[in-house]
Amino acid sequence: MAPAWDRFAHWPALRARLGLLALVLLLVAAALVPIGEREDKIETRSFVENLKPGQNGADAKNGAERPRDEDLVLYDRVIARIRKGENYYDFIVAEHRRANYPVNPGFAIRLPTLAYIEAWIGEPGQIVAAIVLMFAVLLAWWRRLGEEPGGEQKRRLLTLAFLFLGVSLGLNRYYFVLHELWSGTLLALAFGLHRVREDGTGRWGAALAVAALALAIREHALPFVLLMAAMAFWRRDWREGAAWSALVAAFLIALSVHHQVIAAQVLPSDRPSDPWLALRGLSGWLSNIVMSSNLRFLPHWLAGPMIVLMIAGWANWRSWAGAFGTLLFLGYGLAFMIAGRPDNFYWGAEIAPAMFIGLAFSGRAVKSLIASAFPDAPEASR
């Protein structure tokens, strides 16, 4: 007797066979498609390198200081100028020109939120914030798993282990100035803080506040907020849906102001941004997640299929958390297939931390698909 939360265990044979076939095809495709363009077009570095103590951006193998990535140098200069008392919008366009980075459209320039926060707390504060945020994510999900179907003690511990692999990327000081690093971890926290009661209403206040901060840091968090609003309206929780919708409206107003301020400083001679509509397909989705997470250390024929297994685990988890996670990660996956150049791989950090939870449910998902697809097979063969 399979538990109610085990979705695939309750599928009829035909549906299960089709699902199993789709899973196998996706696993094979994920093992074969290229991950990133590491050799010729872009040079990538892991978010979680084994740095020796005290080395910030150093080569852990020989102790030599390596050059700082150009985009990170830009953010370093921005933070330094804010610490001197300068206003972000007075110099950010000039800094982009200095680095030969595009300023047109205005969305090519980051929102100022993270720069002001990091200028205020300094590097010691960033280290403390990263550690506190990681443990907050683990604690929030430990509590949520205890209230969700399928969160038995054994799986709860396994889930936390996989989640740690996901959120630990936020501890690398070298990338503290990268917006997606913080925004993605905050989204994992907001997801863990959210609850849905038995009557369909949500406990969402803390999740809303955390998601608002993630959104203020990076606009790529917007799909998370939109899905929260849509799911609340689906459950007929009008109050929660209105709250998430109000956040979307407030953010769009702020983003419009940001864009107008930048646009007023753009010159005809400024280089426009390269197109983001790249249509990279499955490789784009897998590359963004693999290259912005601990999966970066694995061979591509193994790392790609692990992402597919994550999605299978989320899809098999019949709960409000499972439904939200499945829609969220598939939605971002589709977006990464369509938009984003190869050098935008770091966008994957927006969702990579929480995705790892799906691995804790993936084994059960595969087993249940096989059992449902071949219900007459002997138990030992399932």
Distance of CA 342 to the CA centre of its chain: 17
Q: What region does 36 belong to: left with phi over 0, alpha with psi -120 to 50, or beta?
A: left
User: Would you state the pLDDT for residue 42?
Assistant: 36
Burial of residue 50 (number of CB atoms within 10 Å: 0-12, 13-18, 19+): exposed
Task: Enumerate the H helices of 108-237 as residue ranges.
Answer: 113-147, 153-167, 179-193, 205-217, 222-234
Cβ neighbours for 83, distance < 8 A, ≥ 6 positions apart:
119
Q: What is the DSSP string of 300-355?
A: HHHHHHHHHHHHHHHHHB-SHHHHHHHHHHHHHHHHHHHB--GGGGGGGGGTHHHH
Q: What is the mean pLDDT of residues 367-379?
A: 87
> What mean pLDDT comes out for the span 59-84?
76
Q: How many CB atoms lie within 10 A of CB 131?
A: 12
- Helix, strand, or coil (residue 36): coil
Residue 66 confidence (pLDDT): 53
- Classify 277 as helix, strand or coil: strand
d(CA 7, CA 243): 31
Average pLDDT over residues 211-218: 97
Q: Which two tokens stand for residue 68?
A: 């700082």
* 94-135 residue pLDDT tens: 999 998 888 888 778 999 999 999 999 999 999 999 999 999
Which residues neighbour 310 within 8 Å (Cβ) at sequence distance 6 or greater?
Answer: 329, 355, 356, 357, 358, 359, 362
| 108 close to 273: Cβ distance less than 8 angstroms | yes
pLDDT digits (tens, 9 = 90+) for 353-372: 999 999 999 999 999 999 99
pLDDT tier at 272, thresholds 50, 70, 90: confident
What pTM was computed for the model?
0.90
Distance CA 291, CA 364 (A): 27
The answer to whether 144 and 325 are in contact (CB under 8 A) is no
Give the span between the Cα atoms of 24 and 2, in whole angstroms. 23
